[in-house]
Amino acid sequence: MLTGIRRVFKSGLVGFWRSAYVSLASVFVLTISLFVIGATMFLDQLLTVSLQTLQSKVDINVYFVPEAPQEEISRLQTALEALPDVESVSFTSREESLEIYRERNQGDEIAMQALEELNENPLGATLAIQAKETSQYEQIAQFLEEQQAQESPNAPVIDEVNYNRNRESIDKLTSIIDAVEQAGFLILVILLLASVLITFNTIRLAIYTAREEISIMRLVGAGNMFIRGPFMLQGVMYGLLAAFLAVLLFYPLLLWLAPGTEAFFEFNLLDYYTANIVYIFLVLAGIGIVLGLVSSALAIARYLRV
């Protein structure tokens, strides 16, 4: 048994080396497939992260009238935080609002003057609400309206909810995010399918050139495992080598792409690559080995029949 395994290994390695041309072609095709798969992994990461940053920038603000009582605002904040769709709610007091306003209009003499003349703080407190998904802002806005109608229909504490103002851009962003996610998935599926088929076909061709050998091995009385073993081992080697090459190939590419993407998406792909290089290699090697092994096994099964 042990001798058998040793012989399969030796024969597989020697075969890989002696049919170097065919082996190299298979490895390169598999490298391209894995590169495509890896690229979709990076693209997916890039999209996810940039969507997250984009989403975190979208919020709705509830502006309260200046005379709104503090406990009512607190009550509303607690109610909002209890909603399952709400990610976070942050409170800005009247004084803080004034401070922010002052800072923002530091150079603006007229605005400062107007503020002086008023003698009192004209600004109300605000609540900034972040939803988990952009599509949930509508419900939150509705909830606020209902709350308002219930609590104090005659003396409204909410001056304005800027959801209605932001509505259009929020809706647009939501639909863009949906479209990008759907298109991304579709592209991923097509690319994956194409690369799997190409790999499978290449390895099948590589084994097709060996079909005569397989029939000779059978005539000499070699058992099926003894014939199949070296070819399957070669499939595994194709996968491993291709994963290694693909990971290597990403380095110069990302080195070149990183500054551009960082400026645009606020996400450094090169950092992600170096931080996750082992994970990326393991994923690609796993896919490569399975692809190589399955392709080899399927291709040989054809020629092993009597």
Residue 217 as a binder of another protein (CB under 8 A): the answer is yes
Residue 220 as a binder of another protein (CB under 8 A): the answer is yes
Nearer to another protein, 208 or 256 (CB): 208
In sequence order, the 6+-apart residues with CB closer than 8 A to the CB of 144 are: 62, 76, 80, 158, 161, 163
How many residues touch another protein under the rule CB under 8 A: the total is 21
Nearer to another protein, 2 or 155 (CB): 2
Where are the strands (E) in the chain, listed by range?
Answer: 60-64, 86-92, 126-131, 158-161
Q: How many whole angstroms separate alpha carbon 184 and alpha carbon 178?
A: 10
Phi then psi dihedrals of residue 91, to 5 deg: -100, 135
Bridge partners, residue 62, by sequence: 127, 161
Nearer to another protein, 15 or 288 (CB): 15
Residue 211 as a binder of another protein (CB under 8 A): the answer is no
DSSP assignment letter at 126: E
Residue 3 as a binder of another protein (CB under 8 A): the answer is yes
Residue 216 as a binder of another protein (CB under 8 A): the answer is yes
Long-range Cβ pairs for the range 187-193 (8 Å, 24+)? 187/40, 188/40, 188/44, 191/36, 191/37, 191/40, 192/36, 192/37, 192/40
Please select the residue that binds another protein; options are 19, 105, 147, 276, rule is CB under 8 A: 19
Residue 237 as a binder of another protein (CB under 8 A): the answer is no
Residue 224 as a binder of another protein (CB under 8 A): the answer is yes
Residue 4 as a binder of another protein (CB under 8 A): the answer is yes
Binding segment for another protein among 119-127, 157-165, 196-204, 211-219 (CB under 8 A)?
211-219
Could you say which residues in the range 101-140 bind another protein, by CB under 8 A? none
Give the residues lining the site for another protein (CB under 8 A): 3-4, 7, 14-15, 18-19, 212-213, 215-224, 226, 306
